[in-house]
């Protein structure tokens, strides 16, 4: 072999090495660009969490780094991507799932889970196949822990409580027990049961998912279709266990009037139902086959590409996904500062209470307006709260209860030529309240419907209409029907013009 030929081979090798490094850099930069919003989201909550949680988070990161250094011989990284089907599919499916979640759901944590799973898929292109597969349950656990760990009390917690309350209400009504759920409370003839944060079921779903991932890792079960079936079954079992717990407590405390017994059962019942659900999950996990022995079929999984064009192709795909625009921000609510009454009503604008002013001051995009009215013997006040987000809205009966009103009864009410609302009897049938949520083409008195419309990006900007009458009026009172319908009509015209 001549010296010229050797020099050409050396030059070609150097050129190929530079091209590989360029392709690797392009792949990493395209992934960072695609997940730029994820990085910003993670930085903000970490700054807001308590010092103890920050220390625990740093300790977890330090533990992972120490384990990586101790077992560095097992963690042999490739300088260039080694394309394997499993990491590649996880990377691309997570990227697509993240984009889809951003457009279909208004829940920050879901895209973050996809982004972290995709990051682990990207890591699998540089890490040895057997090591990556062993660490997949841990990677999935971290992807679940991080977004829900730093912002556990927001996002899904409140909707989960409302959904739990609605499910318990449905079961009680099936058993002919009069009940109506509103936000995170269940109104019965014998009292009001509140579904607090521990009863939402979200914490058990989160912890139960981590339990399944840890059990998968310890027993070396294989990820696949069977594992996915077990995962879905695990979520169902945990949800059923939580609903059974809440239903039992409501029956014991408010139907059978054994409040002391319910307080005793509150914590033990939650632990027992959670353990039983996890026990069934552990039995189902035995149906999942174990992972293959180390090194088996590695040759089939590995496909080292000598051509650097394919990393560029993958980088181009990620860059194309990164160029997809983010969904538009919710539209600002219309400036509902007055009602165009068609009926002969005497009105007067009144200031918000100090509590209302303090609450709405935390939401700068909210428009709140309050009026006193008099109409053919009907007197009271109407509060209008227009908001592009859920945080400024609530079920008014909770505010009324907090202000000292006694809630006698609450029922859904369809007004003739008017809104689908909720009618409330207060203070031993001495006062009445009516409320609903109104959008340009929809009204509802159900707070869960309001949440789902925003979470699914169908309708985010709503106006809460809360009417408090000074006297008691039946929902079929003609004068009340006329007044409610006129407010509904006037607000509808304002919203249509916006």
Residue 348, Cβ density class (10 Å: 0-12 exposed, 13-18 middle, ≥19 buried)? exposed
pTM comes to 0.70
The tens digit of pLDDT for each residue in 197-234 reads 555 567 777 788 888 888 888 888 887 778 888 888 99
Mean pLDDT of 164-187: 74
Q: What is the pLDDT of residue 54?
A: 61
Stretch among 3-7, 220-224, 339-343, 379-383 having the lowest mean pLDDT: 3-7
User: For 11-25, 244-258, 464-478, which range has the lowest pLDDT when averaged over its residues?
Assistant: 11-25
Average pLDDT, the chain: 78
**Residue with more model confidence, 467 or 72:** 467
* 253-280 mean pLDDT: 81
pLDDT in tens, 22-66: 888 888 899 988 888 777 777 666 555 556 556 666 666 666 666
pLDDT of residue 334: 73
Q: What DSSP state is assigned to residue 431? A: E
pLDDT of 406 higher than 70: yes
Q: What is the pLDDT at residue 372?
A: 92
**pLDDT of 179 higher than 80:** no
Give me the pLDDT at residue 493, please.
Answer: 86
Residue 195 is predicted with a pLDDT of 64
In which band, very low, low, confident or very high, does the pLDDT at 13 lie, cut at 50, 70 and 90?
very low
Asked if pLDDT for residue 7 goes beyond 70, the answer is no
Lookup: tokens for 410: 């609450």
Query: Quick one: which of 192, 172, 184, 194 has its CA closest to 395?
Result: 184
Instruction: Considering only residues 363 and 125, tell me which one the structure prediction assigns the higher pLDDT.
Output: 125
> Which is more confident, 214 or 375?
375
Mean pLDDT of 130-143: 80
CB 144 within 8 A of CB 206: yes
Phi and psi based region of residue 297 (left: phi greater than 0; alpha: psi -120 to 50; beta: remaining): left
Across the range 380-386, mean pLDDT stands at 91
User: Mean pLDDT over residues 68-82, rounded?
Assistant: 66
Look at 140-154, 262-276, 353-367, 413-427 and tell me which has the smallest mean pLDDT: 140-154
User: Does residue 134 surpass a pLDDT of 60?
Assistant: yes
- Residue 61's pLDDT is what? 63
What was the pLDDT predicted at 71? 55
pLDDT at residue 247, rounded to an integer: 84
> Average pLDDT of 114-143?
84
Partnered with residue 380 across adjacent β-strands are 373, 469
- Which of 121-125, 149-153, 310-314 comes out lowest in average pLDDT? 149-153
Report the range of poorest mean pLDDT among 211-215, 257-261, 283-287, 437-441.
257-261
The helices-and-strands tally (H runs, E runs) of the chain is: 16, 11
Q: What span, in angstroms and rounded, lies between the C-alpha atoms of 150 and 441?
A: 37
Q: Which residue has the higher pLDDT, 250 or 307?
A: 250
Pair 368, 383: CB distance under 8 Å: yes
Three-state SS string over 34-50 comes to HCHHHHHHHHHHHHHCC
The C-alpha angle 151, 152, 158, rounded to 5 degrees, equals 110
Q: Is the pLDDT of residue 299 over 60?
A: no
């Amino acid at each position: 072999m001549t010296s010229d030929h050797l020099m050409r081979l050396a030059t070609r090798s150097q050129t190929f090495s530079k091209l590989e490094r360029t392709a690797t850099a392009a792949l990493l930069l395209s992934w960072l660009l695609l997940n730029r919003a994820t990085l910003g989201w993670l930085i903000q909550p970490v700054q807001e969490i308590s010092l103890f949680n920050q220390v625990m988070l740093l300790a977890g990161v330090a533990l992972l780094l120490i384990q990586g250094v101790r077992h560095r011989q097992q963690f042999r990284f490739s300088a260039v991507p080694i394309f394997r089907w499993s990491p590649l599919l996880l990377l691309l499916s997570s990227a697509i799932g993240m984009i889809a979640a951003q457009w279909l759901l208004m829940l920050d944590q879901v895209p973050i889970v996809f982004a972290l799973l995709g990051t682990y898929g990207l890591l699998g292109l540089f890490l040895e196949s057997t090591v990556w597969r062993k660490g997949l349950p841990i990677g999935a656990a971290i992807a679940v822990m991080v977004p829900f760990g730093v912002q556990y009390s927001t996002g899904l917690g409140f909707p989960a409580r409302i959904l739990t309350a609605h499910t318990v209400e449905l079961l009680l009504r099936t058993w002919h027990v009069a009940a109506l759920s509103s936000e995170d409370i269940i109104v019965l003839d014998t009292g009001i049961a509140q579904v607090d944060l521990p009863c939402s079921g979200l914490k058990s779903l989160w912890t139960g998912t981590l339990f399944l991932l840890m059990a998968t890792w310890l027993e070396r079960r294989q990820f696949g279709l069977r594992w996915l079936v077990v995962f879905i079954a695990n979520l169902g079992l945990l949800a059923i266990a939580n609903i059974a717990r809440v239903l039992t407590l409501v029956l014991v405390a408010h139907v059978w009037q054994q409040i002391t017994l319910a307080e005793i059962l509150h914590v033990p019942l939650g632990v027992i139902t959670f353990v039983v659900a996890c026990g069934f999950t552990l039995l189902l996990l035995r149906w999942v086959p174990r992972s293959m022995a180390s090194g088996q079929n590695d040759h089939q999984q590995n496909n080292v590409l000598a051509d650097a064009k394919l990393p560029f192709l993958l980088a181009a795909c990620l860059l194309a996904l990164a160029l997809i625009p983010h969904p538009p921000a919710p539209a600002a609510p219309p400036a509902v500062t007055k009602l165009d009454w068609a009926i002969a009503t005497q009105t007067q604008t009144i200031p918000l209470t100090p509590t209302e002013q303090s609450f709405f001051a935390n939401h700068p995009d909210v428009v709140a307006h309050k009026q006193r009215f008099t109409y053919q013997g009907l007197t009271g006040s109407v509060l209008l709260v227009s908001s592009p987000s859920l945080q400024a809205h609530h079920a008014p009966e909770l505010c009324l209860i907090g202000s000292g009103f006694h809630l006698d009864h609450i029922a859904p009410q369809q007004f003739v030529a008017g809104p689908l609302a909720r009618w409330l009897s207060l203070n031993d049938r001495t006062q009445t309240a009516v409320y609903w949520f109104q959008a340009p083409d929809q009204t509802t008195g159900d707070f869960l419907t309001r949440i789902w419309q925003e979470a699914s990006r169908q309708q985010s900007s709503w106006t809460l209409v809360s009417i408090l009458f000074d006297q008691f009026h039946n929902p079929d009172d003609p004068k009340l029907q006329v007044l409610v319908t006129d407010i509904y009509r006037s607000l509808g015209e304002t919203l249509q013009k916006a």
